Amino acid sequence: MGWYGIDAVDAAIKRTKKALIEPFDFWKWIKLGIIVFFIGGGGTGISNFNPPASYQRQYEGTKIPSTEEIFNQVSQFWHQYQIYILIAIAIIIFIILLFTFISSVMEFVFVESVVTNHVAIRAYFSKYLRPGFNLFIIQVILMVVFLSLFILAMIPLLQRFLSGAVTPGLILGSILWFFGVVFIFAILSGIIRSFISLAIPIAMYQGVGITTAIKNVFGRFMEDWKQVAVYWVVRIIIIIVAVIIVGIAALILFIVVFLVLLVPALILYFILSGLGQGISSPLFWIVMIPYGLLAVIVFILLILLVSVPVPVFMKYHLLTFMQAWYPDVTVPLFDSERTGVQYS
């Protein structure tokens, strides 16, 4: 028995090439880019905090406000803008919940798109509205739990701030504690997210609820955790390598497109300036604003295009691994008969 996470890499590469390049379909890439955008295909990085050697010296002679002064300022600000703050919080919560709901449904849409090699956002969105809503409820519960745990983890810091004056040492310690908690939560979130991602195909192709699917994945994990551990390591390595390669390619592409768009912009600028239509002229903006909007659209399309290959490959890697590791579910991948990679 080999390691399924390693064995799945070759089949995932072949399926990604077949889905994205053979043949190349521009609008298919755009639709996949839209799906990836709502799912959030990007990784989360934790910044390193490296204080300068002169950290302590730069605060010498600096008057740091006391805790009482800080809370008085916060209280004054709250009473002055209370209604606006509550409205802003309500809007932010609504946007987060709406985006989370769309993202939850798009998870199923993405799986169906790569499995069938046919992208139909509206049709798949309607098809998976109910399981997507169930996943949305789970996501909201997890958000509340993580937020509650985060607040509990921050309480010791709050108590230290309330117990005395704010010092540079307290600020430094608080920053280190904050990023340490965020790092731990990121690992826990990644593990949970992996179980959910593995559970989605089971819910779709075994006809069970997403909660039952997650329980099945966890049960299978308890039986064969080593395969999943290797699978996680392989995916981390793949993500690092893929992000570097795609990042370099995207940077080169962005520079080329920027230069291509810059030349006509400069030509238009000099022509309008030669005609006496400077930046204070309405004609200048009538010409340049549409061109600027066109440039923005081009860059948005470019972002959608470059964001597609890595998530598609990772999803094919997940599905191929799933076929071997969880043989109870049959994933009807579009090329299973031709590649001979069907394990179930």
Identify the pLDDT of residue 320.
Answer: 93
Please state the domain extents for the chain.
4-49+63-339
Identify the pLDDT of residue 48.
Answer: 38
Identify the pLDDT of residue 42.
Answer: 39
How far apart CA 232 and CA 325 sit, in angstroms, is: 13
Identify the pLDDT of residue 45.
Answer: 33
Q: Which two tokens stand for residue 214?
A: 């997650």
How far apart CA 28 and CA 26 sit, in angstroms, is: 5
Residue 90 contacts by C-beta under 8 Å, 6 or more apart in sequence? none
Identify the pLDDT of residue 171.
Answer: 78
How far apart CA 107 and CA 135 sit, in angstroms, is: 9
- Segments of the chain scoring below 70 in pLDDT: 1, 41-71, 164-166, 336-344
Identify the pLDDT of residue 44.
Answer: 33
How far apart CA 175 and CA 182 sit, in angstroms, is: 11
Identify the pLDDT of residue 43.
Answer: 35
Instruction: Give the residue among 212, 15, 247 at the shortest CA–CA distance from 113.
Output: 15
Identify the pLDDT of residue 265.
Answer: 83
